Amino acid sequence: MTETAVIIRSNGAILVPTDATLDVDGLPQSATGQTALLTGINAPKVVGRHVTAYPTTTLKAILTESNIFRQVMDRDGSVALANAYTPEYFSAVEVGRLRHGAVTFSALSAGVPLRTPKDLGEGRAVFHDLTNAQPRAWGYEVPKISPEQAGRNLAGIASEHHLTVFEFFLSDLAAHGRVPMAPVTVVEMIDQCLSGIIGAGKWDEMLMVLVSDHGNIEDGRRDIHTRNPVPTLLVGNGRDRVAENIAAITDVTPAIIEWLASEA
Ligand SMILES: [Zn+2]
């Protein structure tokens, strides 16, 4: 962590600078970073390096055993993955054109149902572009929504489960220059989505945790990941308690589990 990284408390929110390097050389990457986030296990340390993109056999074993969905379900909690998946996604996986990322893999391995375009149409899922522009372009009859409405839908899903996960990655793609969107546009979308979540959540009983597996978008000078701390943004009940327990991305799942146990 850099010397300038300090915890910021403002207006009911806490921002905790969070180490994503995990004491392993090189640039943090998605497969190991997400495994660390989702399990609390120092995955890059286990495999000896930061692993990009999709989980390897070793990482899949760690995820299957210890992912946060599994941990909450083992404590009789209800869980949800709010993202929507199209049949085309599963076809692409079947033919090997796509592979499951760590979040999707974890949900599937824990038996968490994946949400569908029908759920999306009814506001019971959120697409990873927040607005449904992509599924609409693919021909799905789902409403065009604002990122703010996506946030309200997320808060609605979250109100029904002990743990609700939503995976968002346009920030990484935009920072790599892999989608035709300016990074600032993506940050504005996140802001609007947060506004929807914060406006709709019941914060005397809910906790929102926004976190990332690695840096990238915060440094516009280069289009690669960084070793900077990532922001953990906490809003709602338990934020002080959870903030105290977070210094690295491996702390996020244990801190959430501890908070859920304290609320049970
Ligand atoms: Zn990336």
Whether 114 maps to a domain, the answer reads yes
Q: What percent of the chain has pLDDT over 90?
A: 97
Q: Identify whether 3 is part of a domain.
A: no
Report the candidate in 160, 232, 156, 242 with the shortest Cα–Cα distance to residue 201: 156
Beta strand pairing call for 230-236 and 13-18:
antiparallel
Mean pLDDT along residues 186-196? 98
Ligand 1 centroid – CA 42 distance (Å): 19
- Domain-embedded: residue 2: no
- The number of domains in the chain is 1
pLDDT of residue 4: 63
Arithmetic mean of pLDDT, 135-142: 96
Residue 160: pLDDT over 80: yes
Residue 1 maps to a domain: no
Tens of pLDDT, residues 91-106: 999 999 999 999 999 9
Cα distances from 63 to residues 101, 205, 211, in angstroms, run: 11, 28, 18
Q: In this structure, how many other beta carbons lie within 10 angstroms of the beta carbon of residue 227?
A: 16
CA of 170 to the centre of ligand 1 (A): 10
pLDDT at 3: 53
- Cα(190) to ligand 1 centroid in Å equals 17
Beta strands in the chain (DSSP E): 8-10, 13-18, 79-81, 163-165, 207-210, 230-236
Q: How far is the CA of 110 from the centre of ligand 1 (A)?
A: 25
Distance, CA 173 to ligand 1 centroid (Å)?
6
For 39-44, what is the mean pLDDT? 98
CA 199 to ligand 1 center in whole angstroms: 30
DSSP 121-169: HTTSSB-TTSSSHHHHHTT-------HHHHHHHHHHHHTTSSEEE----
CA of 215 to the centre of ligand 1 (A): 9
Structural domain including 29 reads: 8-263
Average pLDDT, stretch 62-89?
Answer: 97
> Is this prediction's pTM over 0.85?
yes
pLDDT for 163 beyond 80 = yes
**Is 249 inside any structural domain?**
yes
Measured in Å, residue 218 CA sits from the centre of ligand 1 at 12
CATH number for position 211: 3.40.720.10
pLDDT band for position 182 (50/70/90)? very high
Could you tell me if 14 and 234 are in contact, meaning their C-beta atoms sit under 8 angstroms apart?
yes
Mean pLDDT of 187-196: 98
What band does 5 get if pLDDT is binned at 50, 70 and 90?
confident
Is pLDDT of 176 > 90? yes
Residue 261 CA, ligand 1 centroid: distance in Å = 33
Residue 109 predicted with pLDDT over 70 = yes
Question: What angle is formed at CA 70 by the lines to CA 66 and CA 71, rounded to 5 degrees?
Answer: 75
